[in-house]
């Protein structure tokens, strides 16, 4: 910040909290030069990540994702529509300015990754198809919002149970509720087999902060506000690049930084894939 | 296999560019920028006193307003506004006029592909016209990845739709400086090889992205030379206006 030399002398006398508030950048740089961050993480390590599936009982698929204290709740509601079928995003309870941008990024990422085979959402070709409404609630925003949003969305899609429907005499689609499954055996369900989506090439993301020559993986809100250059890399499970997103920022990304960010994301994709697999297999046992 | 494009261009050939500054009377600075049939008009007002809510009053604030050709602005335009704002923030010297707001209004005249890129170039030219001090220019370029894995530059709307993926890249221009050359190098790469902004759509391999970067850099050098020349040639009339 403004007075680098003055702060250098003061740091030995001042209380840590006061120093952190007055010279936030200096405070961080002192940590970074020791290859550690104020929350005791090494520069390239992401925060603890947890996933819980089925958090919303009324939705057809839902997931709660926590990265550090950033918390996102995703819920999917299925509705029968006449095709064109597509995945839409609706979002509420978001930090106001970020909402439309992240929402757009998220629907771009999900559609361009080809994770969902839209043919699987078709019920009667050309007549009826599923519309998946994805709602994501940001319960706590502490940096790396897009990463948490994408993780919760992906987990919700892998948890998704498509409801059983049947064609009635008028050629209209009717929901068969779980309870009277036995009673309505005379009507043939349209989608008995297709209750789960087969997700191919699942996208995972990692946001990194670039500051001087340092690369900080999975920043907190404090780190994002002090060091402004963020890069979000999205890779799918077969390590293809779905998105390389760097909206401006004072630090320029040179080839070496691009490659380092991609390498960090590759590691992170493996971690997240494991977390997702473990959570899913945990569900099956229950 | 590098194929011919519909309009007969070679893969790394840009469409005819044109740039005119000082096209609006009431704005503090304005520019129109066109690449082929894509045309964008940008106007700069400010710096005006005061910043908006939630902005840091210790720095200058940049506000971008996107006006589509027709209709209301949607999510797409909101995203463009945000990318444009962040990109311009990184080339402006924000500490120079703290607690002021500079508004940049971007009017889409016609969209025939590479719209965001065109808007960034137009906004940058308008900032120069308004006399806002900048660290360096921002040179934007759109690279497309075709089915065969080859890269084409500056696509039209038709080409954009056919492509497997594309990347909008923004590079700084080469700085003419009195400082010795070595100072502007970062880790053996010249400063102008760093990316200010990168936005990609569609799936590609990492190697293909790096190939896009390389092609984009090569083209951005040409583009920044052209930008510099067109700015310099228009300068004399500008100084007479000021006098």
Residue-wise pLDDT tens digits, B145-173: 888 778 889 989 888 888 888 899 999 88
Which residue of A113, A226, A248 is the best one to mutate when testing the B interface, meaning the one whose CB has the most B CBs within 10 A? Answer: A248
Q: B55 in a domain, yes or no?
A: yes
Q: Which segments of B117-204 are extended strands (E)?
A: 138-145, 151-153, 165-172, 185-186, 189-190, 197-201
Residues A58-68, mean pLDDT to the nearest whole number: 92
Judged by CB atoms closer than 8 Å, whether chains meet at A246 and B78 is answered as: no
Give this prediction's pTM.
Answer: 0.87
Q: A248: distance to nearest CA of chain B, Å?
A: 4
Cα–Cα nearest to B214, from B193, B231, B229, B236: B193
Set of chain A residues whose Cβ sits within 8 Å of the Cβ of B136: none
Q: What is the ipTM of this complex?
A: 0.86
Number of domains chain B contains? 1
- How far, in Å, CA of B165 to CA of A139, rounded? 33
- Closest residue in B to A225 (Cα–Cα): B56
How sure is the predictor about B76, in pLDDT bands with cuts at 50, 70 and 90? confident
Q: B228 in a domain, yes or no?
A: yes
Per-residue pLDDT tens over the stretch A86-118: 555 454 455 566 777 888 888 888 888 888 877
Domain boundaries, chain A: 39-161+196-285
- Yes or no: domain A39-161+196-285 corresponds to CATH 3.30.230.70: yes
Q: B35: distance to nearest CA of chain A, Å?
A: 22
For chain B, give the mean pLDDT: 85
Q: B82 in a domain, yes or no?
A: yes
Q: B209 in a domain, yes or no?
A: yes
For chain A, give the mean pLDDT: 82
Residue A191: what pLDDT? 62
How sure is the predictor about B243, in pLDDT bands with cuts at 50, 70 and 90? very low
Residues of A contacting chain B (CB within 8 angstroms): 97, 100-101, 103-105, 108, 112-114, 201, 213, 229, 231, 236, 239-256, 258-259, 262
| Out of B78, B194, B209, closest to residue A254 by CB | B194
Ranking B86-90, B142-146, B192-196 by mean pLDDT, the lowest is B192-196
Residues A47-66, mean pLDDT to the nearest whole number: 91
Residue B170: what pLDDT? 93
- Closest residue in B to A258 (Cα–Cα): B210
User: Which CATH number do you get for residue B215?
Assistant: 3.30.230.70
How sure is the predictor about B88, in pLDDT bands with cuts at 50, 70 and 90? very high
Q: Which residues of B82-119 are buried (b: 16+ CB within 10 A; e: fewer)?
A: bbbbbbbbbbbebeebeebbbbbbbbbbebbbbbbbbb
Which residue of A101, A237, A252, A257 is the best one to mutate when testing the B interface, meaning the one whose CB has the most B CBs within 10 A? Answer: A252
Q: B62 in a domain, yes or no?
A: yes
Cα–Cα nearest to B197, from B157, B228, B169: B169
Residues B83-90, mean pLDDT to the nearest whole number: 92
| Out of A97, A103, A241, closest to residue B205 by CB | A241
- Closest residue in B to A114 (Cα–Cα): B203
Question: For residue B44, is pLDDT > 50?
Answer: yes
Residues A229-247, mean pLDDT to the nearest whole number: 91
- Identify the domain containing residue B31 by its residue range: 17-176+189-235
């Amino acid at each position: 910040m403004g007075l680098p030399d003055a702060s250098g002398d003061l740091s030995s006398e001042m209380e840590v909290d006061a120093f952190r508030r007055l010279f936030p950048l200096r405070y961080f740089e002192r940590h970074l030069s020791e290859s550690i961050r104020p929350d005791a993480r090494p520069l390239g390590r992401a925060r603890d990540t947890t996933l819980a599936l089925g958090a919303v009982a009324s939705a057809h698929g839902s997931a709660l994702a926590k990265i550090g204290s950033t918390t996102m709740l995703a819920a999917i509601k299925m509705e029968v529509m006449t095709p064109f079928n597509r995945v839409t995003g609706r979002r509420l309870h978001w930090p106001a300015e970020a909402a439309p941008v992240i929402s757009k990024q998220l629907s771009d990422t999900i559609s361009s990754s080809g994770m969902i085979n839209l043919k699987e959402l078709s019920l009667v070709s050309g007549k009826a198809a599923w519309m998946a409404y994805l709602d994501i609630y940001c319960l706590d925003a502490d940096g790396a919002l897009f990463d948490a949003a994408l993780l919760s969305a992906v987990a919700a899609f892998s948890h998704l149970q498509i409801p059983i429907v049947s064609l009635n005499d008028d050629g209209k689609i009717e929901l068969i509720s779980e309870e009277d499954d036995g009673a309505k055996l005379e009507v043939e369900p349209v989608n008995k087999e297709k209750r789960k989506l087969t997700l191919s090439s699942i996208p995972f993301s990692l946001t990194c902060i670039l500051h001087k020559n340092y690369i900080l993986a999975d920043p907190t809100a404090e780190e994002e506000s002090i060091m402004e250059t963020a890069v979000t890399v999205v890779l799918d499970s077969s390590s293809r690049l779905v998105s390389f997103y760097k909206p401006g920022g004072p630090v320029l990304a040179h080839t070496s930084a691009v490659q380092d960010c991609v390498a960090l994301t590759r590691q992170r994709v493996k971690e997240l894939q494991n977390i997702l697999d473990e959570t899913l297999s945990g569900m099956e046992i229950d | 296999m590098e194929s011919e494009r519909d309009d007969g261009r070679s893969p790394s050939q840009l469409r005819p560019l044109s740039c005119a500054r000082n096209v609006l009377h009431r704005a503090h600075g304005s520019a129109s920028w066109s690449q082929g049939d894509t045309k964008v008009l940008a106007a700069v007002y400010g710096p005006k006193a005061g910043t908006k809510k939630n902005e840091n009053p210790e720095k200058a604030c940049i506000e971008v307003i996107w006006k589509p050709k027709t209709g209301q602005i949607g999510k797409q335009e909101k995203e463009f506004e945000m990318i444009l704002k962040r990109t311009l923030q990184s080339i402006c010297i924000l500490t120079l006029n703290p607690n002021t707001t500079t508004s940049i209004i971007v009017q889409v005249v016609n969209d025939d592909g590479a719209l965001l890129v065109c808007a960034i170039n137009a906004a940058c030219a308008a900032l120069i016209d308004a006399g806002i001090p900048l660290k360096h220019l921002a040179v934007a370029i759109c690279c497309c990845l075709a089915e065969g894995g080859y890269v084409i530059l500056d696509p039209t709307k038709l080409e954009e739709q056919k492509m497997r993926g594309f990347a909008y890249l923004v590079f700084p221009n080469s700085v003419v400086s009195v400082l010795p050359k070595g100072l502007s190098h970062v880790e053996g790469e010249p400063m102008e090889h760093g990316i200010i902004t990168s936005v990609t759509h569609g799936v590609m391999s990492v190697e293909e992205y790096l190939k896009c970067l390389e092609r984009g850099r090569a083209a951005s050098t040409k583009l920044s030379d052209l930008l510099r020349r067109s700015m310099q040639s228009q300068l004399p009339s500008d100084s007479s206006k000021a006098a």
